[in-house]
A and B are shown apart, each in its own frame.
Chain A
Amino acid sequence: SSRAFDFGSYHTLDEIYSWMDTLVEDHPGLVSKIQIGQSYEGRDLLVLKFSTGGSARPAIWVDTGIHSREWISQATGVWTANKIAEEYGRDPSVTALLDNMDVFLEIIANPDGFVFTHSSDRLWRKTRSPNTGSHCLGVDPNRNWDAGFGGAGSSGDPCSDIYHGPFPHSEREVKAIVDFIRGHGNVKSVISIHSYSQMLLFPYGYTSVPSPDYQEMNELAKKAVSDLAAVYGTKYTFGSIADTIYTAAGTTVDWAYDQGVKYSFTLELRDTGRHGFLLPSSQILPTATETWPALLDIMVHVLEHPY
């Protein structure tokens, strides 16, 4: 049963994939598993679909752990998947959401990198695809999107951790999401989860020009980080990527926004800078718990503001 799973511990890819099957078994009619592609090393790219039926419903896309070493992100993805499933029929917001929209959650967005963090290099960030003419492997999957591709904040050096790759969507892990969102055609929100800077960010990253929806996104982000802070007092900053962190070209949410997905956000989860990517497992449950109201704020706003 998914209830026997330890949500307060870090897990391997096999453990998480196996748990996803259990979640599907425990919630028939609500949760299903779909494969959207394969990684460079041939691993399945799996997405949990939360749906109460109907076809072509508007949808929300959430991915966690596109940077493999940010383990708190994948762990939060697991907890969140379970929370969505358990709260349907219990929490009025989740129930209303899933009665009208579908949620897609990709917990391990970079499985090759994730496995590599468990087997060989805990601090690996990129994909694991080879680069022609270089001994360095991998592309930063959050610089590989066709949104200002190759611009500031990304690198053309295959040895760099922010290498943008040879061309947009060169990485199978990225292309699979691109194809899925385009093919679906009715995705209204993309939420991409990272760690560890405690931020809620929105487009743009590749330019400091405010997006046309800046005001609305800013208000929503303000509410979300306020509700997040109400749980344990964790302070988040918020704003556009370019204003809040730095100019970063080729990112997931900029691509999504440019595709017409208005509510595109990226979260940077804990920590404050004591552990970085090595956040102790004792912080998984608090992190996931405090993130939940922020996620729910965004999802409910999407539900209540159709476009």
Chain B
Amino acid sequence: QRQFQGDQVLRIMARDEEQAALLKMLEEQEELQVDFWRHPFGPGHPADLRVPFPSLGAVKGFLESHSFPYTVMIEDVQELLDEEKEAMARSRRVKR
């Protein structure tokens, strides 16, 4: 099973076309393995990126160096996945 410990989802708002284009470049950097949950589709629209834990430093550094406004949407993806799994198991245990 693929694990997502420490992975975060960042919500990024590109200020202008130039920043939107920069975000697209981030998508093309395969070594960072970022997963676009919502693709950057222009200024004024949020882009959501799941960033693997090992790439967090590089990605946040990139965003800060280009003055991107961003927030952390999900602090730890694995925590949510564990909760989801537990909810499903609990539902199966309930006798209907």
Residue of A nearest to B38 (CB): A197
B68 proximity list for chain A (CB < 8 A): none
Q: Which of A23-31, A39-47, A105-113, A275-283 makes up part of the contact surface?
A: A275-283
Task: Please tell me if the beta carbons of B37 and A276 are within 8 angstroms of each other in the complex.
Answer: yes
Name 24 A/B residue pairs within 8 A (Cβ), A-sorted.
Answer: A5-B96, A6-B96, A9-B91, A10-B87, A120-B2, A122-B2, A123-B2, A123-B4, A153-B39, A161-B35, A196-B37, A197-B38, A246-B39, A273-B38, A275-B80, A276-B9, A277-B37, A278-B74, A278-B77, A278-B81, A280-B84, A281-B84, A281-B87, A281-B88
Please tell me which one of the listed residues B4, B30, B38, B87 contacts residue A280 in the complex, with CB atoms under 8 A apart: B87
A276 to B83, CA, bound (A): 14
Decide yes or no whether A274 CB sits under 8 A from chain B: yes
A245 at the interface (CB under 8 A from B): yes
B residues touching A (Cβ–Cβ < 8 Å)?
A: 1-2, 4, 9, 11, 30, 35-39, 41-42, 45-46, 48, 50, 73-74, 77, 80-81, 83-84, 87-88, 91, 94, 96
> Interface of chain A, helix or strand or loop or mixed?
loop
User: How distant is A14 from chain B, measured CB to nearest CB, in Å?
Assistant: 12
Complex Cα distance, B36 from A4, in Å, reads: 37
Which residues of the partner chain B approach A196 to less than 8 Å between Cβ atoms? 37
Closest to B46 in A: A273
A10 to B86, CA, bound (A): 11
Find the residue from A4, A8, A122 having the highest chain B CB count within 10 A.
A122
What residues of chain A lie closer than 8 Å to B39, measured between beta carbons?
153, 162, 246
Q: State how many angstroms separate the Cβ of A276 from the closest Cβ of chain B.
A: 5
Our pick among B35, B38, B83 for the contact of A123 (Cβ within 8 Å) is B35
> Of B42, B73, B94, B96, which is within 8 A of A276 by CB?
B73
**Contact present for A276 and B48 (CB under 8 Å):** yes
Q: Nearest-CB distance from A84 to chain B (Å)?
A: 22
A273 interface neighbour in B36, B48, B84, Cβ under 8 Å:
B48
Whether A246 lies near B42 (C-beta < 8 A) is yes
Report if A119 contacts B (CB, 8 A): yes
Q: How far is the CB of A83 from chain B (nearest CB, A)?
A: 19
Q: Decide: B50 and A123 in contact? CB cutoff 8 A.
A: yes
Contacts of B48 in A (CB 8 A): 273, 276
**A121 contacts B2, CB within 8 Å?**
yes
Q: Is A209 positioned at the interface, with any CB of B under 8 Å from its CB?
A: no
Cβ–Cβ < 8 Å partners of B77 in chain A: 123, 278
From A5, A120, A161, A280, B1 is in contact (CB under 8 Å) with A120
**Proximity string of chain A (189-230) to chain B, C-beta cutoff 8 Å, 1 when within and 0 when not:** 000000011000000000000000000000000000000000
> Which residues of chain A have C-beta atoms less than 8 A from B83's C-beta?
280
Return chain A residues, CB-CB under 8 Å to B94: 6
Closest to B90 in A: A9
Confirm or deny: A159 has a beta carbon within 8 angstroms of a beta carbon on chain B.
yes
**A268, closest chain B residue (CB):** B38
In the bound complex, what is the Cα–Cα distance between A281 and B91 (angstroms)? Answer: 10
Bound-state CA distance A278–B42 (Å) is 24
A273 CB to closest chain B CB (Å) equals: 6
- Nearest CB in chain B to that of A3: its residue: B96
Q: Report chain B residues within 8 Å CB of A153.
A: 39
Residue of B nearest to A4 (CB): B96
Closest to A5 in B: B96
Tell me, rounded to whole Å, the shortest Cβ–Cβ distance linking B7 to chain A. Answer: 9
Provide the bound-state CA to CA distance between A94 and B41, in Å. Answer: 37
A1-57 contacts to B, CB under 8 A, are: 4-6, 8-11
Chain A residues closer than 8 Å to B30, beta-carbon distance: 159
Cβ B73 vs Cβ A273 within 8 A: yes
A212 to B9, CA, bound (A): 39
Kindly state the separation between the CA atoms of A278 and B46 in the bound complex, as whole angstroms: 18
When distances are taken between beta carbons in the complex, the residues of chain A under 8 Å from B38 are: 197, 273, 276
